[in-house]
Structure 1
Amino acid sequence: MSKAVYQLEPLTCPSCIKKIETTLSKTAGVESAKLMFNSSKVRTEFDENEIKADKIEETITKLGYPVLSVKVS
């Protein structure tokens, strides 16, 4: 299981949290997604055999939330 933290541009609405978390939780290979509103970071756990970190980044960006940086571990 791999982990990644995505730094987003500052979020302005609490509904953003639900939108991002719901979409990522329905994405194949993503085991968990937790968004921290105050820091605008998304922490994910995913199966690298099913999905790569850049594909998760692409999914977040397509929702309208630019990713500023990614830390994969």
Structure 2
Amino acid sequence: MNTSVLNIEGMGCSGCVDTVENTLSALPGVKSVTVNLQKGTAMVDFDEQEVSETEFKQAIKEAGYTMTGIQG
């Protein structure tokens, strides 16, 4: 199990939070997602055997947001 904090640009409301949480939660291997609107981050607990950070970036892009980096 791995935990990463994704920096995400473009979120402006609680609907954006829901979209990002649902998008990331739908990926295989993702165990939990916590989005912080004020910080512009999403903390993701995931199985690195099933999903990669590249897949996070692509899913976020397809949802209409931009992943600008990863902490941890």
* Pair in the same fold by TM > 0.5: yes
- Shift in Å, 1:11: 2.0
Percentage identity across aligned positions? 26
Inter-partner Cα distance in structure 1 for 2:10 and 2:16: 11
Q: Which stretch of the first structure deviates more once superposed, 46-55 or 7-16?
A: 7-16
Structure 1 segment 1-73 matched on structure 2, within 5 A: 1-72=1-72
Per-residue displacement from partner, 1:24-72 (whole Å, max 9, x unpaired)?
A: 1121110111100111101001001111111112111111111111123
Displacement over 6 Å in runs of 4+: none
5+ residue gaps in structure 2? none
Extract unaligned runs of 5+ from structure 1. none
TM-score under structure 2 length normalisation: 0.89
